[in-house]
């Protein structure tokens, strides 16, 4: 079976026929040809496929495409403006080393955007909670959290200076 749906995709109104069994991930990647949203586990465990539907971060591998009817969908491709200027969160991921291999980055960025849209002054704990469903195998999350914090109202702390113990400063103590 198939049904016709109308929705807003990255700011553009769309109308199309979708299969009842299609996931939103299938619709985005296979039917619309937008490949920024990644398929990781296919079971909602890794967050690589995170997109924003009506302001909420969702796993597109679990979201049925037919349920997008009348809603607004935002993917990683929809963050940059028409001239290619990156969204501040995308820039922050680059500047803070939040991107390593890049596979989890679209999902992390979308989860971070959904959080900051709801709470522009998110704390580190709120950031950690917002990305808890997104897995990364490269960064250890520190750079990802720092990237999101740098865009929120809670800027990162100044780097701490670590004094290495040497014979010379040990004598001065």
pLDDT confidence band for 169 (50 / 70 / 90): very low
pLDDT for 162 = 37
> Percent of the chain having pLDDT more than 90?
80
pLDDT for 37 = 97
Per-residue pLDDT averaged across 91-119, rounded?
95
Of the candidates 25, 45, 47, the one whose C-alpha atom is nearest the C-alpha of residue 35 is 25
Q: Look at the block and give the residue holding tokens 């069994």.
A: 21
pLDDT for 100 = 86
Distance separating alpha carbons of residues 100 and 7, to the nearest angstrom: 33
Helix pair 142-151, 105-118: axis angle to 10 deg: 40
Per-residue pLDDT averaged across 40-68, rounded?
97
Distance separating alpha carbons of residues 72 and 156, to the nearest angstrom: 32
pLDDT confidence band for 154 (50 / 70 / 90): low
Q: Which residue has the higher pLDDT, 30 or 159?
A: 30
Which pTM value belongs to this model?
A: 0.86
pLDDT for 3 = 96
In this predicted structure, which of 3-12, 82-91, 160-169 has the lowest mean pLDDT? 160-169
Domains and CATH numbers, the chain: 1-78 (3.10.20.30), 79-158 (1.10.150.120)
Per-residue pLDDT averaged across 59-88, rounded?
95
Which helix (H) or strand (E) segment is 51 a member of?
strand 50-53
pLDDT, mean over the chain:
90
Per-residue pLDDT averaged across 36-48, rounded?
95
Per-residue pLDDT averaged across 42-51, rounded?
96
Spell out the residues 6+ positions from residue 162 whose beta carbon is closer than 8 angstroms to its own: none
Q: What is the rounded end-to-end Cα distance, in angstroms, of the chain?
A: 78
Q: Is the pLDDT of residue 163 over 60?
A: no
């Amino acid at each position: 079976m198939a049904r016709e749906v109308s929705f807003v995709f990255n700011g553009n109104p769309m109308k199309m026929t979708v299969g009842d069994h299609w996931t939103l991930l299938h619709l985005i990647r296979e039917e619309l040809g937008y490949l920024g949203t990644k398929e990781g586990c296919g079971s909602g465990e890794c967050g690589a496929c995170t997109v924003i539907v009506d302001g909420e971060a969702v796993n597109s591998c679990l979201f049925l495409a037919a349920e997008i009817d009348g809603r607004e969908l935002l993917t990683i491709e929809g963050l940059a403006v028409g001239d290619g200027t990156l969204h501040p969160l995308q820039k922050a991921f680059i500047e803070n080393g939040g991107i390593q291999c890049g596979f989890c980055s679209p999902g992390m960025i979308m989860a971070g955007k959904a959080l900051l849209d709801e709470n522009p002054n998110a704390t580190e704990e709120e950031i950690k909670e917002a990305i808890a469903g997104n897995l990364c195998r490269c960064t250890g999350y520190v750079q990802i959290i720092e990237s999101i914090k740098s865009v929120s109202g809670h800027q990162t702390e100044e780097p701490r200076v670590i004094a290495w113990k040497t014979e010379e400063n040990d004598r001065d103590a």
